Structure 1
Amino acid sequence: MSGPSSGLRRFFSCFSARSSGVAGATASDSDGDGPHGGADLISGLPDDVLSSIVSLLPIKEAARTAVLSSRWRRLWASSPLVLDDTDLLLNNPSHVGAVSATVSAAMRAHPGPFRSVSLTCYFSDAEKHVLRRWIRVLAAKGARELVLNNIPWAGLDLLPRALLECRSLQRLRISDWRFHDTSGAPVLPRGEAALPRLRELVLSRTIIQELDLDRVLASSPRLNTLVFVLSAGVPAQVRVSSRSLRCVVFWHSVAEELAVVAAPLLERTIIQTSSSSCGSRRDGSRMRVKIARASVLQALGFLNPNHHELQIGDTVIKDGKKVAPDAVVPSVKILALSVQFGVRSKARMVSCFLQCFPNIETLHVRSIPDRGATSKNWNSEFWKNEIDSVECVKGSINKVVIHGFQWENCEIEFLKSILEGGKVLQKIYILEDKIISVSGGSVKGTLSLLASLSNGIELMILAGQDYGIWTYEVASDLSRNDPFDCLN
């Protein structure tokens, strides 16, 4: 392109000389060289507003804003760089060399700092010097947020060691990389950290060994959030030992063990699995979720008896085994469970898990399709016996959310037991499975039954709801009170 994009022109055309919302913007303010040859009202905006406009443009358009007006000539270089090479790749899918040259030129031309950079690496091993040069520039010019995606079949899969020299990084996401061996990393002076400002680390389809992960955590004294996305078994054990971590997320990921060893600030442990993803290990065994020391842990789940084995301290929680007094986590206020209600051995684990968390206030339950389960027509005695003895149901749970509700008898009996046993219960939200088909008469009858038991409890049915809007970004957002709430 030889000039501003049509989209940019349309944006500027929204501002006419008759606009009265921008004070002091005249032809003399802008040298009379506005986008239509008249008064450039945009240039009268404050610098921070103009910088925000520039940051929203694709990299080529942002750099070309200097042709619009003398008022704009310094903006791109003086604004923190926002660079995403996606638009370059889409426009040049068969000319990755040209894309690489454009990215390199932009990095050289901008003095920094770099606010947000997203790069896609399509290099062969012979071209890895280009990536190393990029990372050196990122480190030198104060990159704050970095997304580093890889196309491994191009020939390069080992993450450059120099990445751990980007001391300015606050957010880092790496996808499809093999993490380098950190044992040979330079020894820093006592009290210094390799990544002193890093607050969020997302490892997507990235291979990292246990000791290397331990070193990265130890090198990141301000790390709040650690996320694994589509990671299968490497590392085999994830040991959460950090004085700063507040949130750990396993998003369609699996390991032999997730162990909360020592995490005094850890508030959330989120585990999202599905039957089609890596919910269980390849040998069919379950992933152990071990909680040793986590005194402020507030939210945990989705625990799934099919895929997870819960251990608190030295006690493994099992069906039919009474929970020991020391095998409880009193700090947990929000618990999420995935349950195959039609299988009694799995359904019984609901009460086992609930006994481990005596102060739950919000309970999320995802109903798993039965697919050949042996029993769907249960009487109320099963859940009455299971729920009656659970203290949190009677004394602390005030909100229950059922996800993927299918109107099966076993689900309805569970709800009845909660309504009858919940002494402080205030709200029940039922989110229907969006693909389920149930007759209106059946639903109406069930609702009448539940309403007769509600006794002032707010009961809300939401049709066709699923977890399509629930992402790891939502789950790890510490500003949200409930990481499992997909209703807002």
Structure 2
Amino acid sequence: MDYRALMTMEKVLVQMEKDGVDSRMLDLGADCMCKLLVASLPDPPVYPDAVLSANDDDDLSGAGAEDRIGALPDDLLGGVVSRLPIKDAVRTAALSSRWRRIWLSAPLVLVDGHLLPPGEEAGQLALDASGAVAAAVSRVLEAHPGPFRYVELTSTAMGARARRGDLARWLHLLAVKGVRELVFVNRRRPLDVALPGHGFPDTAALPRGAGFPHLRELGLYCVAMEDRDLDFVLANSPVLECLGIYYSQRQIVLLRLASHSLRCVQICMCIAEDIAVVDAPRLERLLIWEMFEDDNHATRLSIGHAPNLQLLGYLRPGIHVLENGNTIIKVHAPALLIQFRSTIAGTKASPRTIIPSINVLALKVRFEVRNEAKLLPSFLRCFPNVEKLHVKSEKSDEPVGRLNLKFWQEAGRIECLQSCIKYVVFHGYRGDRSELTFLKYILGSGQVLQEMVIVVANGMFSTQDEVGEKLVKPLSSVKMASGDCNITVVEGTVHDEEDSCCLRDAFDFSIDDPFDRYL
């Protein structure tokens, strides 16, 4: 299969129908994608359920009451209007000529979900209801001169023939009038929507100087873009801090990160050949979630100039190929080697083969696959200053061998484990013997280890007594290298089948560790 070819959702649907697969499965997948997206979106800066009256007495009609709000200055009233749901904001324009002027000057918040009929959900809208919502959106965008504070369009099937003219008109109006934050999501079939030329043009033909001077956060879900288009966006977005790419419909041949403003990059559920951090002096977080990878389709990750990169994951020994500057750190399962340049390096690390800035590292390991788990010690040696380690245990469809405690004890010194790692979070524990021996090794080797959290797979243990007998008791028998390490066992709150990427957590720098969302 040529992964570089564009495989649209409609093509997938046609192929499923040819293969005799129930097409409703694609609908379920699309719904799942929409739920993932919507769950990751920021909350609109309005309060649709707020009480707009200060008087809670239903017996009082309010007739003849003093208009104290009207005595406020126009700029303050404009701030009130800009924080109202769109239906309430529009109603203020009918109060008086003064209120209409205020409405026209206020930067509105337009969320089409607030225009839905009572009891309706966006994914279940009938065509006529969706048309009514689209018509209301058109009226607001045409009547208000802008700019818009926040626009969220998630409740309309953009690809429907009746909506294509609306789509072009909306994007044109938003471009002309201005919008500070834009959330744009297609709903249901047709699943594939070609944006009009002014929405995302051929970047090769754009004049010099065109760009996004105020763009700070960009999330791209289920889109088809050429690598050069993304290069253009990064090169012409001088203040862009957060970038997310999710379920790209086209294989990413080379994602080249060269930006002096980027602080966080998320790549989720994509096929990527190369991710190259070329020059990103402010980059702090690089998150790689649920990539479509196997032994034949690996992702090469190269770290160039990223002196502030502190959080990295999920990497997978046996799949990912890591480069640090001019040094290639190649982890390749079939060959069972770690390769720096073209030389087998065994278990030793040198200044050229380490990435010292990382203090939070997340790895995925199939402990039931011996050849993959054996690479973990050499991989850890590339990150000598890690203080917090996340290890997610992945289930293998075809278990091949297991590692005993003797292997880990004979693996040699791992600098970060001996002198830096204070916290270990083990996700997805299923009670496999190889998992338990790894945890014992960590406890017996981590000289500064303070806390170990074991997140047990949902439904793994039925009682607390079973947890104590099969997990806590065996770990309690280990002589801890640190002398005292607190061990906490919790059941995971995220089911295995649910996706783990979360735009909101990773882009929120008040959250120190977005990988902790499992807890």
TM-score for the superposition, normalised by structure 2: 0.75
Q: CA deviation at 1:108?
A: 2.5
Choose from 400, 418, 425 the match for 1:401: 425
Residue of structure 1 equivalent to 2:303: 291
Deviation digits for residues 144-192 of structure 1, max 9, x if unmatched? Answer: 01112235855973323434xxxxxxxxxxxxxxx5421111222xxxx
Correspondent of 2:369 among 343, 348, 363: 343
Distance 2:462 2:108 in 1: 53
| CA deviation profile, 1:421-467 (whole Å, cap 9, x unmatched) | 11111111111111323665553233133234343212111124336
Compute the displacement of 1:44 (Å).
7.9
Instruction: Please report the RMSD computed on the Cα atoms of aligned residues, expressed in angstroms.
Output: 3.4
**Which of 267, 290, 293 is 1:280 aligned to?**
293
Equivalent residue runs for 1:130-279 within 5 Å = 130-150=166-186, 154=190, 157-163=193-199, 180-188=201-209, 194-273=211-290, 278-279=291-292
Letter in 2 for 1:111: P
Aligned counterpart for 2:330 among listed residues 283, 306, 317 = 317
Do 1:404 and 1:465's aligned partners in 2 also have CA atoms closer than 8 Å?
no
CA distance 1:485–1:45, change in 2 (3 Å): farther
- The answer for the alignment partner of 2:407 in structure 1 is 382
Out of 397, 400, 417, the residue aligned to residue 371 of structure 1 is 397
Paired residue secondary structure (2:243): strand
Q: Percent identity?
A: 39
470 and 153 in structure 1: CA distance in 2 versus 1, 3 angstrom threshold = closer
Q: Matches of 2:369 and 2:389 in 1, distance apart?
A: 20
Q: Shift in Å at residue 257 of structure 1? A: 1.3
Q: Is the 8 A contact 1:317 1:352 kept in 2?
A: no
Amino acid at match of 2:55: F
Q: How far apart are 1:251 and its partner, in Å?
A: 1.6
From 350, 353, 359, the equivalent of 1:333 is 359
Label 1:35 to 1:149 Cα distance change in 2 as closer, same or farther (>3 A): farther
Residue identity in the other structure for 1:221: P
Instruction: Confirm whether residue 451 of structure 1 aligns to residue 451 of structure 2.
Output: no
Q: Choose the corresponding residue for 1:16, options 52, 56, 67.
A: 56
Matched, 1:471 2:499: no
State the distance in 2 between where 1:272 and 1:379 align: 29
**Conservation of the 8 A alpha-carbon contact between 1:121 and 1:148:** no
Aligned-pair CA distance for 1:353:
1.8
Work out the CA distance in 2 between the residues paired with 1:45 and 1:270. 51
Structure 2 residue aligned with 1:94: 127
CA pair 441-341 structure 1, distance change in 2 beyond 3 A: same
Shift of 1:126: 8.8
**Preserved contact between residue 157 and residue 189 of structure 2 (Cα < 8 Å):** no
Distance 1:207 1:380, change over 3 A: same
In structure 2, distance between residues paired with 1:251 and 1:155: 19
Tell me if structure 1 keeps the 8 A contact 2:428–2:455.
Answer: yes
Note the residue ranges of structure 2 that are not aligned, 5 or more in a row: 1-46, 339-344
Aligned to 1:169: none
TM-score scaled by length of structure 1: 0.80
| Counterpart Cα distance in 2 of 1:252 and 1:291 | 21
Q: Which residue of 1 aligns with 2:513?
A: 482
In structure 2, C-alpha distance between the alignment counterparts of 1:461 and 1:366, rounded to whole Å = 15
Query: C-alpha deviations, 1:3-26, integer Å up to 9, x for none?
Result: xxxx989934673369xxxxxxxx
Which segments of 5 or more consecutive residues in structure 1 lack a partner in the other structure? Answer: 1-6, 19-33, 164-178
Partner of 2:89: 62
| Structure with greater contact order relative to length (CA < 8 Å, sep ≥ 6) | 2
Using the TM superposition, name which of 197-206 and 62-71 deviates more: 62-71
Alpha-carbon distance change, 294 to 53 in structure 1, aligned in 2, over 3 angstroms: same
Q: 1:341 to 1:109 in 2, by over 3 A?
A: same
Distance 1:89 1:16 in 2: 27
